[in-house]
Amino acid sequence: MIGKEIRIERIIDRNTGRAVIIPMDHGFSMGQIDGLLDMTKVITDVSEGGANAIVLHKGMVKRGHRRHGRDIGLFVHLSGSTSLNPDPNDKVQVCSVEEAIALGADAVSIHINLGAPNESKMLETGAKIVRDCNRWGMPLLVMIYPRGKGIDPASPQTIGQCVRVAEELGADMIKTSYPGNPEAFARITKACSVPVFVAGGEKISDLESLEMIRDAVGAGGAGVCMGRNAFQRTDTPAFVRAVCRVVHQNVDPKKALEQP
């Protein structure tokens, strides 16, 4: 799996074993949302802030190839759905591993919602993508959440099941929800053999975001995979710099915000 190891080095910091990943795939599902109207600018902003990698759909990769400035790792997202669908939790494959390789991706990502009506189809698609990733030496990030009727999305038990399903499926990295307290998250990360990133979730204050990230990393998390909580900030580069200080340098959240 030397190909995967080489590519993962462009995403996960070899000194800390952690990463700050900024997904920017939201336009596919939500349309022209604030923060993602000028893709070239926002990609430059998070790169200047020190993020390790971004997540884009295949059609947006050309917007991120700046030909100047700091380099940044690239995930090409293979899953898609729209908010116009009666069931936006139904994710389908919209890009292949081979297409991602041709676009210069360092890794690919997929989205699975456990408990959704089409869970079985998402798992079946995920298994096929795992085979393609293993064939081509391409790292796979599985974004997986508990979402469905009667399911508590913040339950440590259901989040833990999501992480276990992703690991058993063959994920190289996992993104999931934070269960709300470090003790519960520590139990989840301790039982998993691959890096687990916490999702940014709904937009909250700068300090609240950094405190959540601090707690998640302290509980064994490999870092953060956050979208709106990063690219919808008033000063995105400054906020991403603060996130990187917390993730890679263990800086106190308040001090991370105060530093230039």
Residue 213 token pair: 């990230």
For 203-259, what is each residue's pLDDT tens digit?
A: 889 999 999 999 999 999 999 999 999 999 999 999 999 999 999 999 999 999 998
Q: Which of 45, 91, 106, 145 is catalytic?
A: 145
CA atoms within 13 A on the CB side of 225: 29
Give the type of residue at 113: N
Q: Which of 25, 106, 206, 215 is catalytic?
A: 25
pTM, rounded to two decimals: 0.96
Alpha helices in 139-205 (DSSP H): 156-169, 182-190
Q: How far is CA 214 from CA 55, 144, 177, 182, in A?
A: 22, 21, 15, 9
Write down the residue that tokens 């000028």 correspond to: 38
Quick one: 113 exposed, middle or buried, by C-beta within 10 A (0-12, 13-18, 19+)?
Answer: buried
Q: Domains in the chain, start-ordered, CATH in brackets?
A: 2-258 (3.20.20.70)
The reply to whether 25 belongs to the active site is yes
Q: What is the pLDDT of residue 210?
A: 97
pLDDT averaged per 10 residues in sequence order, the chain, 260 residues: 93 97 94 93 94 97 77 96 92 98 97 96 98 98 94 96 98 97 97 97 91 98 96 95 98 95
Q: Which of 45, 91, 106, 175 is catalytic?
A: 175
Handedness of CA 47, 97, 177, 172 (dihedral sign): negative
The angle formed by the CA atoms of residues 207, 208 and 211, to the nearest 5 degrees, is 85
